[in-house]
Structure 1
């Protein structure tokens, strides 16, 4: 027995669409990074969206602060631990690995890009891309991939679920970051695209590595 009965974290049916989407997302990240490199002012789109979201009431500000907390170390760690526990509960070890490795790679990539782009907000805080938006989107993508596998969804339904989850999570966290004045809207877009680029690639790598390990163990068992 090869052991490949363990469910793939990136179903083959989704690779057809998520591969090109990841490549396009990576291109958007690079283009925006070059466009706003070493900048410290909002662009035209940033100014318009920022003005529309400016001045949220106390109640909505509390919601934004709660969302922001989920992207901070304590809140993020809590979400990651809970998601890993859920993956193990459903006996999806590859998904558990993807939560840790994929989300970690996404946040690490966003942090590296911040230093490469050098865009700042409020004079000193590196802002592009948004790490909060990248984290929220990455976690949502992993959960959606897990759900796609567990439900046995096909290419269209699975891809739709994954993209919808990414959009909702990214938009929610992005709104909070812009409303709080922590990021420009284009920072949020960059963070969202960072997750879209990193998670599918990492998921493919997790599956490939796991399959190789299983094959090696099977070969060793036959000897």
Structure 2
């Protein structure tokens, strides 16, 4: 008899990640309402943004490299690589999450942007940051795959998932702010969007797959 396909959202983590998803959605909504229709940085944004002279050339090159990971070519390569690893590890649900989780997260940012109406550099819609949301979502997929290992407790698993999301979100958020493509609060909104959408997508995948005979 074949064993059951491992859940992509580890059962011990469901309650905590469910709470985090709710908090992420509420935070993204609150920040979006706060800056809706604005075209200037907020007080916190102004403190965190680089000086008018911009970042040094070496830091700018690093920011461009990180930014490429959120561009269509870089993002497609990353998602394909993660999905392939999931299939090699015989984790088909995780492979589906790599595609659906990142796709739905980016789609959510595109849906929110015209509703928030926040702009930067003219008429460029900026809230929330799609690049930050994407890389955070992909990091969540990889972290959930690792957190599903047997013997990893709830506290360690939750810490691993949050740490991965924080590192990925901070790296891409910094790159977007350094390049002048987004305000820091846009990056926060993208990060929170990924925290809301990706665990929810994982739960839906497990629920749907669990109904199959």
TM-score by length of 2: 0.97
8 Å contact kept, 2:50–2:178: no
Aligned to 1:196: 195
Distance 1:88 1:45, change over 3 A: same
Aligned to 2:73: 74
Aligned to 1:143: 142
Distance 1:54 1:134, change over 3 A: farther
Aligned to 1:127: 126
TM superposition shift of 1:54: 6.3
The size of the alignment, in residue pairs, is 213
Q: Gaps spanning 5+ residues in structure 2: where?
A: none
TM superposition shift of 1:198: 0.4
Aligned to 2:4: 5
8 Å contact kept, 1:4–1:211: no
- Partner SS, residue 40 of structure 1: coil
The structure where helix makes up a greater share of residues is 1
Looking at structure 2, the residues matched to 29 and 63 of structure 1 have their Cα atoms a distance apart, in angstroms, of 27
Distance 1:53 1:12, change over 3 A: farther
Looking at structure 1, the residues matched to 3 and 197 of structure 2 have their Cα atoms a distance apart, in angstroms, of 24
- Is residue 37 from structure 1 mapped to residue 50 from structure 2 by the alignment? no
TM-score by length of 1: 0.92
Aligned to 1:219: none
RMSD: 1.4
8 Å contact kept, 2:49–2:177: yes
Looking at structure 1, the residues matched to 127 and 80 of structure 2 have their Cα atoms a distance apart, in angstroms, of 27
* Residues 120-158 of structure 1, C-alpha deviations (whole Å, 9 max, x = no match): 001110000000000000000000000111354110000
Q: Which has the larger radius of gyration?
A: 1
